[in-house]
Chains A and B, each alone.
Chain A
Amino acid sequence: MMSIETRDRLLTLHRTGKYATLTPSQSLKFYNLNGMFIETNESKLTSLQYYALLELQFFLSLMTMHDIEAKVILDKLSDQFDTTSSEKLVVLKSYYLESTSTQNRDNTNEQILAFLEGSQNLSVKKVKTAAATSLTNSGSTSVDPKDLAMIEKRKLSLYRGDNGGKFYIEKLLEYLDDKPLDLECWVELSDEYLSLGELEKAYECLMEVVVGNPFAYNIWSKIGEIEYSMWVKSGGSSKEILRNSIKHHLKALELCETYSRAWCGAFTSLVQLLDSNSSIKEKNNKKKESSLTGEEIVKYQKIHKICHNKLHEIVEKQMTNASDIDKIKYILQKYDS
């Protein structure tokens, strides 16, 4: 009998794209599970579910070095769909080419870009021919290769090259001018700016994301982290930035109280804020920045205590994964003393 829970779990893994962040052992586990699930339940799945799981199996096969199986899945899909009418199939083929290429990265990317552009031109030609020869005069002959949105986004990922850089940022900006609601790309752009040390621009990109999705607690926390970096970059002079960082981390915790990264971020920023407030350097600081009032200090101390206790609780009760716990231990060790 088909387990609906397993099916839904696998479909969620596919829909959310979480499979891309699995560890190798987890990937192998899901590769085996999904393969077996498709084999035993093929007749019970709807066509949409079946092809979604097949796509998931394709990616898991590539990630676990099962190239032959990936090719078999690609052939199965090619039997059903046509590359001139299915953008997704073109994109999947490009992933296969990328994973199995024996050449260096630049050459591979060039080849895949040529393949994608060729496929785009073929599809456009097919649509135009169909419109021109249609008896009912249906369809449009004014089709642009850019209309194939999925291929356009895949091309964008290939411009990244080895190190990203300014060229990639230009391409991302061009793409975002056409698709301003693609929040994934805004996060990518923010990461690129971060790698170049342009913190203000990275901050603005993440603000675009929270405007689009105000419940994205991880992004709220990331904004807090960027503000913390701004504070570090400014030489620890502006207390206002640190307070904003705390606010953003607390907002993330308001939305998701189990997000350990936000607890760490809030704790670190609070330690710095309270420390800078009480340091002697502060008293000698020539900049007349408003220092914390007594009431504010009490409030921040209370929040600091809550964060501190929570981080200890997370470590003691193993409330997150091992890698996160190691990081929390490091932070606690660093700031507890």
Chain B
Amino acid sequence: MALEVPELLLDPALKLWVLLPISVVMVLVGILRTYITMLLQPSPKLQSYKLVREQQHLNKLRTFKKNNHVFNYKTEFTNRLNYYNTEYSTTKYLKELPPSDPNDVPNPLTDPNSSDFIMQMVKSNAANYVPQTVIMWWVNFFFKGYVLMKLPFNLTSNFKSMLQSSINTPNLDASYVSSISWYFVNLLGLKSVYSLILNDGDAVNMIMQSQQQQQPVMPQLAGAGPTADKLFKGELEGALLIQFKSSLENVEDRFLQRFEV
């Protein structure tokens, strides 16, 4: 049976010299990081019209597959399908010709676009990881094992791992918060403070996103994933399997059902 632990007497100076500095530093670093990330954002680049063309034709084929119901007759649908089959089987719409050897995989590191992307990824990761590592080291070095405050409400023991990291006291009431836990609480819960200070929803979301280390969806690097000609081929094969059904079929009956009194 667990022993009753008496109320801890916390030095009021802890609030002034530990709790407040950690909170203030976290807020300031968060804001600073936002502006650094904004400065590191690359200026939008021009997209090659050949790439846009290739992607748009690929999307056109996908849209055709998705919305094939707009045609009135099956012949209209099959005529178009035959046309796409002839057009998109060639290399006319590809940005780059497919490699002569299908086993020849291009090296992503020699592609100038990939090196730009990798550089950008390194920069944004550095802007996120470096300040967090430094602050965590700072909190750990100076305030390790500190019990900072007692929350004014009771919590179950499940919260112990969240609120009392770095202090190994199994019987201590869960409402006591350690310094390193306070750092984590700040890291995840400062959104409303940032939105008050920055008054800009996009910037706040950017901070929260970068702090929680959610990486955006990565664009395809050279050599990774199927090439455009294979994508076209795949879409065409899928299109051949479509069971055509026109949305204009029985439109008169649907109309009568809706409007007839």
Give A contacts to B, CB under 8 Å. 46, 85, 127, 136-140, 142-144, 146-149, 152, 177-181, 207, 210-212, 214, 244, 246-248, 250-251, 253-254, 257, 299-300, 302-303, 306, 310
Known contacts A46-B200, A139-B45, A148-B46: A254-B252 contact under CB 8 Å: no
B248 within 8 A of A: yes
Complex contacts, B42 vs chain A, CB 8 Å: 138
B60 on the A face (CB < 8 A): yes
Task: Please state if A250 and B255 are interface contacts (CB–CB under 8 Å).
Answer: yes
Asked if B248 and A247 sit within 8 Å, CB to CB, the answer is yes
A sample of 24 cross-chain residue pairs with beta-carbon separation below 8 angstroms, ordered by A number, consists of A46-B200, A137-B115, A138-B42, A138-B112, A138-B119, A139-B116, A143-B48, A147-B46, A149-B49, A177-B53, A178-B49, A179-B52, A180-B60, A181-B56, A181-B60, A211-B70, A248-B248, A250-B252, A251-B247, A251-B251, A303-B252, A303-B255, A306-B259, A306-B260
Residues of chain A contacted by B68 (CB below 8 angstroms)? 211
* B252 partner, pick from A85, A210, A299, beta carbons under 8 A: A299
B71 surroundings in chain A (CB, below 8 A): 207
Interface residue? B47 (CB, 8 A)? yes
Which A residues are CB-close (under 8 A) to B39? none
Residue B251 contacts which of A146, A148, A250 (CB distance < 8 angstroms)?
A250
Contact with A along B220-239 (1 / 0, CB 8 A): 00000000000000000000
List B residues at the A interface (Cβ < 8 Å).
42-43, 45-50, 52-53, 56-57, 59-60, 63-64, 67-72, 76, 112-113, 115-116, 119, 200, 247-248, 251-256, 258-260
B-chain residues with CB within 8 Å of residue A146 when the two chains form the complex:
49
A179 & B53 in contact (Cβ 8 Å cutoff): yes
Contact call A246/B252, Cβ cutoff below 8 A:
yes
The answer to whether B260 and A254 have CB atoms under 8 Å apart is no
Residues of A near B253 (CB, < 8 A) are 299
Name the contact of B256 in the complex, choosing from A152, A211, A302 (C-beta under 8 A).
Answer: A302
**Chain B residues with CB below 8 A from A299, complex form:** 252-253, 256
Cβ B255 vs Cβ A179 within 8 A:
no
Q: Are A180's CB and B57's CB within 8 A?
A: yes
Judge whether A207 and B70 touch: CB under 8 Å. Answer: yes
From the candidates A142, A212, A214, A244, name the one contacting B72 in the complex (CB within 8 A): A244
Q: Is the interface of B mostly helix, strand, loop or mixed?
A: helix
CB distance from B94 to the nearest CB of A (A): 14
Q: Smallest CB–CB gap between B200 and chain A, Å?
A: 7
Question: Are A147 and B48 in contact, with the CB atoms below 8 A?
Answer: yes
> Complex formed: what's the CA distance from A152 to B63 in Å?
24
Given that A46-B200, A306-B259, A306-B260 are known contacts, is A147 also in contact with B72, CB under 8 Å in the complex? no
Taking CB atoms, residues of chain A closer than 8 Å to B69 are 214
> Which residues in B have their C-beta under 8 angstroms from that of A138?
42, 112, 115-116, 119
- Please give 16 more A-B residue pairs, beta carbons under 8 A apart, in addition to A144-B50, A210-B67, A300-B252: A85-B43, A140-B112, A140-B113, A142-B48, A148-B46, A181-B63, A207-B76, A211-B64, A211-B67, A214-B247, A244-B72, A248-B72, A254-B251, A257-B258, A302-B256, A302-B260
- Chain B residues near A180 (CB-CB < 8 A): 56-57, 60
* Bound Cα distance A279, B162 (Å): 86
Give Cα A210 to B56, complex, Å.
Answer: 16
Please list the 10 inter-chain residue pairs (A to B) with the smallest Cβ-Cβ separation, ordered nearest first: A146-B49, A147-B46, A210-B70, A250-B255, A138-B116, A180-B60, A181-B56, A247-B248, A250-B251, A214-B67
Let me know if B254 and A254 touch, CB within 8 A: yes
Q: Which chain A positions have C-beta within 8 A of B119?
A: 136, 138
Asked if residues B70 and A253 are in contact (CB atoms below 8 Å), the reply is no
Q: How far is the CB of A91 from chain B (nearest CB, A)?
A: 15
Please give the distance in Å from B17's CB to the nearest CB on chain A: 39
Which residues of chain B come closer than 8 Å to A181, judged between CB atoms? 56, 59-60, 63
Bound form: Cα–Cα A177–B52 in Å: 11
Distance, CA A180 to CA B84, complexed state (A): 13
In the complex, the answer to whether A137 meets B112 with C-beta atoms within 8 Å is yes
A127 B46 Cβ-Cβ under 8 A: yes
